[in-house]
Amino acid sequence: MRITTFTDYTLRVLMYLALKEKPNEPSESRESVALATIPEIAAAYGISSNHLMKVVHHLARTGTIESIRGKGGGIRLAAAPDQIRLGQVIRASESNGPIVECLGEEPGVCKIAPVCRLANILGTAFEALYASLDQYTLADLTRQSKPLQGLLFSTSTAPTTKRGKS
Amino acid sequence: MRITTFTDYTLRVLMYLALKEKPNEPSESRESVALATIPEIAAAYGISSNHLMKVVHHLARTGTIESIRGKGGGIRLAAAPDQIRLGQVIRASESNGPIVECLGEEPGVCKIAPVCRLANILGTAFEALYASLDQYTLADLTRQSKPLQGLLFSTSTAPTTKRGKS
């Protein structure tokens, strides 16, 4: 089993946004958090902006990110990184289909579907997987912020201190 | 996330073999357990024999089933259904690739792979999934044996009592 590319890119977007926030600031309104653009994130990872559009749309719809339109607009996390649990993120990004074929809507896909216990057993196991993931937040994923920022940011996109130094 | 068709068919083969065994027998050598053939299992599920060949080959290689060649040959479980843990079965049938792209062998697939914690976090979560699945055996999956047998067996393939009645 593997996570989908959609989930992979969802996590990459969220990690980028978490890394762009200024670290160790006193808690403040999300409105002062710097925005990032889709082309900026795509360029940082060396992937296509088109791939990220669906991901960003999904994250805005789930309320995980805020999207500010217009000139100077962009996206940012809707909550601090340590408030965003990975199980919830991945459950939402992976929720595009049944765990096993018999849970799908096509009629008669498996002959024993009416009396099979597999779907229930798998459902329980996936709950265990998401519960394990919920023990981690986006902050845990981006804990090694300096080397991650080094790999992702050019000097023009790195988070800056109040004095404008990167 | 979903299980692969390979895993789906692996479980279908194992369930069929478990259901073909005579229930509630005193423990005895596996040699007396009735054999099933690939065409028989394929016909029961209404799927192609070709799809099952790779699955059967995999299950024989992992020692989960025994394969008897020649006239009157076929396959059977290598252990009793209550000794076959679902976590071990699914872990083996799903082990054809990394959980996330950065664990693959292609160079440079994700820019932050050298310092990213995602692979470790996902690895831990998948261990939780397989541990949950290991709480169940093939016997748990085929506990509703009568309706399952009703859906799968024609009178010529149903398990028979010693008097030859089905």
Q: How confident is the model at residue B164 (pLDDT cuts 50, 70, 90)?
A: very low
**Does B163 score more than 70 pLDDT?**
no
Average pLDDT over every residue of B98-114? 70
Average pLDDT over every residue of B52-72? 95
Average pLDDT over every residue of B50-58? 94
Average pLDDT over every residue of B8-21? 95
Q: Which two tokens stand for residue A151?
A: 């790999």
**What's the CA gap between B136 and B141, in Å, rounded?**
8
Identify the residue with better confidence: A98 or B75.
B75
Q: How far is B25 from chain A (nearest CA, A)?
A: 23
Helix-helix angle A5-20:A38-45, to 10 degrees = 110
Does residue A19 contact residue A150 with C-beta atoms inside 8 Å?
A: no
Lowest model confidence (mean pLDDT) among A66-70, B56-60, B71-75, B157-161: B157-161
Chain length of chain A: 166
Mutate to test the interface with A, among B8, B129, B153 (most CBs of A within 10 A): B129
**Does B57 score more than 80 pLDDT?**
yes
Chain length of chain B: 166
**What's the CA gap between B63 and B109, in Å, rounded?**
35
Q: Which two tokens stand for residue A9?
A: 């890119």
Average pLDDT over every residue of B107-125? 83
Region at A12 (left for phi over 0; alpha for psi -120 to 50; beta for the rest): alpha
Residue A84, Cβ neighbours under 10 Å: how many? Answer: 21
**Does A121 score more than 70 pLDDT?**
yes
pLDDT of amino acid B103: 62
Chain B contact for A148 (CB, 8 A cutoff) = yes
**What's the CA gap between B108 and B14, in Å, rounded?**
39
Residues 22-61 of A with CB under 8 A from B: 44-46
Q: Which residue has the tokens 């792979």?
A: B113
ipTM over 0.90: no
Residue type, A137: T
Q: Which residues pair with B149 in a beta bridge?
A: none
Q: What 8-state DSSP symbol labels residue A14?
A: H
Q: How far is A72 from chain B (nearest CA, A)?
A: 27
Q: Which two tokens stand for residue B118?
A: 């995602």
Lowest model confidence (mean pLDDT) among A13-17, A46-50, A104-108, B132-136: A104-108
CB contact under 8 A, B86 and A4: no
Identify the residue with better confidence: B130 or B95.
B130
Lowest model confidence (mean pLDDT) among A78-87, A145-154, B12-21, B86-95: A145-154
pLDDT of amino acid A166: 40
Residue type, B27: S
pLDDT of amino acid A162: 44
